[in-house]
Amino acid sequence: MTRALALLPVDFAYMPEDDAFRAELREWLDANLPDFMEQGEIGDTPMGDATRRTMERRRAWQRRLNEGRWAAINWPVEWGGREASIMQNFIYSQEMAQAKAPGIYNANGIWQIGPMISRWGSDEQKDMWLPGILSAEVHWCQGFSEPEAGSDLANLRTTAVRDGDTYVLNGTKIWISTAHLAKWGLFLVRTDPDAIAAGRKHEGITALIVDMETPGVVCNPIREITGEAMFNEVVFTDAVIPASYRLGEEGQGWNVAMGTLGHERVGTAGLSIGMKSELDNMIAAARKHNPDALAAPDIRERIARAWTQIEFTRLLNARALSKVLKGEKTWPEVQLGKLQWSYLSQTLAELNLDLLGPVGVLAKGGPDAVEGGHAAYNYPWQRYTSIGAGATEVQKNIIADRAIQLPRK
């Protein structure tokens, strides 16, 4: 298996249009990012709510991106996009990471839900929802996971019973990012309650777009170890949703979900693109605040190992991109890339604390906190990468089953 993967060719070449894409993006960032970063805090969000402050800043940045048609590069030109290629998406991630650009307000909406509405939605649905996603007028969330259906989404049990021109929803979703800030959400619900017992759990699932302000929809924020609350439990109690909000036909929800997760999983594997810049920034901060750490042999070895793993992951992502460009299946590269993202996120968070020494544990708000207390916040926060976008254990099972083909017990 290892030998077969090693012999797979990787295409590192950029086409002239890719070089032009990079040059245009760099020119736009040079003209817009410094000015934006000098603005400081945006809006009048209470200082105690870091999540809301961050989201307001991302809203402003997405709107700035949208002015230059850089917010939704995958979208059709008529909807403000650029119909970017796979390679141009890779370049986009590289340049944004290198420039230390802020995140965007509607990440779920731009990268996952918007493309699904474009593919599965009616013209009326596109006109209703796509402009608000792009302009950051409203925030969107995505609700798949449930208490009994986390990594195995087909076990979901939130029901949607058809009642004339509406569906009545009952059930619970869990770990729904920023649901308490969202106006709209894309949810998977079960319209055939007998499918699981009949061994047809992938059938009878429907995708519904939900107005989060509907009576009977309650968001319960989940306080995290960081002290913030980005994730939510979403409870439906006889919530009435118009049937016209269904995305695709009834029972097509699994196909909609797989398209959405395909965007998410490939995107997550590519998150490691920015890790080289992160490591460079960590070393620069150590030189400034705790230079003696860089002379320690064990620290130097850990830096070298992290650099090597980041370079390995870059090549892994390049191989995945090569397979995409050739129309081939991207496993096990995507699963391996996700594991690398989880591992490196936590490795770098731990290394950053040790590089900074005592000042690394100073939290945001203190006069001596380095980079706003990023290291102290990031260390516990990165634990989520073991389950985010696919649990580590599940990714390993997929690799064992499909790639290595280990025997089952």
Residues in the chain, overall count:
409
Active site residue 264: yes
Got the DSSP string for 337-361?
Answer: HHHHHHHHHHHHHHHHHHHHGGGGG
Neighbour tally for 45: CB within 10 Å = 16
- Picking from 238, 233, 190, 232, the residue whose alpha carbon sits closest to that of residue 214 is 238
Neighbour tally for 377: CB within 10 Å = 19
For residue 294, give every residue at least 6 positions away whose Cβ sits within 8 Å of its Cβ, in sequence order, or none: 283, 286, 287, 300, 355
Got the DSSP string for 129-165?
Answer: HHHHHHHTSS-EEEE--BTTBSS-GGG---EEEEETT
Cα separation, 313 vs 301, whole angstroms: 18
Q: 250-270 burial, b for 16+ CB within 10 Å, e for fewer? A: bebbbbbbebbbebbbbbbbb
Phi and psi at residue 146, to the nearest 5°: -135, 165
Three-state DSSP class for 408? Answer: coil
Phi and psi at residue 7, to the nearest 5°: -85, -10
Q: Which of 264, 278, 333, 371 is catalytic?
A: 264
Q: 65-102 burial, b for 16+ CB within 10 Å, e for fewer? A: bbeeebbbbbbeeebbbbebbebbbbbbbbbbbebebb
- Containing 187, the helix (H) or strand (E) segment is strand 184-190
Token match 């909406």: residue? 109
Structure tokens at 117: 């509405």
- Containing 300, the helix (H) or strand (E) segment is helix 297-325
315-318 long-range CB contacts below 8 Å, 24 or more apart?
A: 315/10, 316/340, 317/90, 317/269, 317/270, 317/272, 317/273, 318/10, 318/11, 318/12
Active site residues: 264
